[in-house]
Amino acid sequence: MTRFRLGPEPIDVDVERRALDHAAAGAYVGFEGWVRNHNDGKPVLRLDYQAYAPLAATEGEAILAEAIERFRVRELRCVHRVGSLAIGDLAVWVGVSADHRDAAFAACRWVIDEVKRRVPIWKNEHYADGASGWLHPDGSAVDDE
């Protein structure tokens, strides 16, 4: 079963959320990460996400499998966009269903943090002054040298 997905298509949160339905679940927690219009004091016009897709999919699936074991949740999903995104676009979504809210909240936070830390996805921010800069989603700059 695929729980992590990477692609250029807009994320349909309603469809994704329905994949988490489980009769034993008493809680659902979701996270939506949107493209914002600034970073480090610079106005951002848009951004481009790129990923090494085979490794991103493998690592994303590993993170979600770890989360199921670690937090004993019922189900979870993560979708991350690639390609050119505009301000306000939904870039990443995480959803978790669990028997209780504590596990759902903890798992959701852990998943997004691990995806940002471990999955090979980079963004190129395009600034209002015409410059651009590559960043890893954890916020660190990517050295071009």
List Cα–Cα distances, 18 to 21, 28, 73, 75, 97, in angstroms.
5, 11, 15, 11, 10
CA separation for the pair 119, 81 (Å, rounded): 13
Encode pLDDT of 23-53 as tens digits: 999 999 999 999 999 999 999 999 999 999 9
Q: Looking at the domain assignment, is residue 144 inside a domain?
A: no
Query: If pLDDT is split at 50, 70 and 90, which confidence band does 127 have?
Result: very high
User: Residue 63 in contact with residue 108, Cβ under 8 Å?
Assistant: no
Q: With the C-alpha atoms ordered 26, 89, 10, 130, is the resulting torsion angle positive or negative?
A: negative
CA separation for the pair 28, 53 (Å, rounded): 28
Q: Looking at the domain assignment, is residue 41 inside a domain?
A: yes
Encode pLDDT of 54-95 as tens digits: 999 999 999 999 999 999 999 999 999 999 999 999 999 999
Q: Looking at the domain assignment, is residue 116 inside a domain?
A: yes
In this prediction, residue 3 carries a pLDDT of: 97
Q: Looking at the domain assignment, is residue 85 inside a domain?
A: yes
What's the total number of domains in the chain?
Answer: 1
pLDDT above 80: residue 136? no
Q: Looking at the domain assignment, is residue 140 inside a domain?
A: no
pTM assigned to the model: 0.92
Q: Looking at the domain assignment, is residue 67 inside a domain?
A: yes
CATH number at residue 31: 3.90.1170.40
Please give the full DSSP string across 89-141, using - where no structure is assigned: -EEEEEEEEESSHHHHHHHHHHHHHHHHHHS-EEEEEEETTS-EEEE-TTSPB
Domain of residue 46, residue span: 4-135
